[in-house]
Amino acid sequence: MNIDGYAALAPMAGVADMAFRELCVEYGAAYVVSEMVSSKGVSMHDRKSGALMVLSEKERPAAIQIFGSDPSTMAEAAVKAQSFTCDIVDINMGCPAPKIVNSGNGSALMKNPELAERITAECVKAISLPVTVKMRSGWDENSVNAVELAKGCEAAGASAITVHGRTRAQMYAPPVNIDIIRQVKESVKIPVIGNGDVDGALSAKAMFENTGCDLVMVGRGALGRPWVFAQINEYFRTGNILPEPPLEERMRVMLNHIQRLCDYKGDYIGMREARKHAAWYIRDIRGAAAFRNEIGRLESMEQLSELAQKVIQSNPGI
């Protein structure tokens, strides 16, 4: 399948849910990936795992990302994901979270390329959809093996590779290894998506120019800033760099986002999940610390609307 655009939304656990994915697509994200879904949870018919696979028609093209370390269980999860009418099934070989890697999943698979390739092959064999792989540059600085793993996954039938240019040991600390993304791109014939510290038009441009990648992926740079996709698209289409939206517009987007979150998950869960999102929307403004204290006590859309007005009034002209 073809993905038309420049930037994709990264899979982020606890963040990239349906409400956020839809919002990012409305701002021009070319492609979105779900929160990661446990293959073990799928095999046990876990309700939460099933809920994470639900996609809407407003967020296309979309992938469901699965994680695990048993080839047959991963293949079973791929079949289940396909039944949710996703466009792509993505395999997580990059998550650095201790609870994931301690079970041999996520970026731990980079320590076992043979197993990683077998998982890829089993998923490809099990479904008719494209299967992609998201990986890191390696486990640590002494085992930067993304090129080797990418070639193996390509041979196993993967349709594209996403490379986050950090090792697992780095977690999210700088710097991003741009060279390893370029080396992967030069070593495989399938599309390569560049990931790591893309947070706007100029960093997207640098990722494209320095790696030759086919698409960039935005993760933390989209938190509280779904309009980053519009900024990237505008730059590549016209050369113009769009400024950040006025604060009143940012607050409007925040309220839209959180209302959608409550519509999908109910007010109780939605407002509790809203707290982290609201904190991202107000970062770097005057009085942010005090407003974060209020955000931590949010329980209703009415309270959030009042807070948004206070933020605007406390920051005139922004």
Amino acid present at 207:
M
The domain over range 247-314 is classified in CATH as 1.10.1200.80: yes
pLDDT of residue 173: 85
- Selecting among 95, 123, 153, 262, the annotated active-site residue is 95
Name which of 263, 269, 258 is nearest 305 in CA terms.
258
pLDDT of residue 15: 96
- Residue 95 among the catalytic residues: yes
pLDDT of residue 318: 78
Mean pLDDT per 10-residue section of the chain, whose length is 318 residues: 91 96 98 97 93 96 98 98 96 96 96 97 98 97 95 98 95 90 98 97 98 98 98 97 96 97 96 96 89 92 95 86
pLDDT of residue 317: 72
pLDDT of residue 164: 97
- What residues does each domain of the chain span? 7-238, 247-314
Give the burial class of 98: count Cβ atoms within 10 A of its Cβ; 0-12 exposed, 13-18 middle, 19 or more buried.
exposed
pLDDT of residue 212: 98
Give the burial class of 175: count Cβ atoms within 10 A of its Cβ; 0-12 exposed, 13-18 middle, 19 or more buried.
exposed
Homologous superfamily assigned to 7-238: Aldolase class I (3.20.20.70)
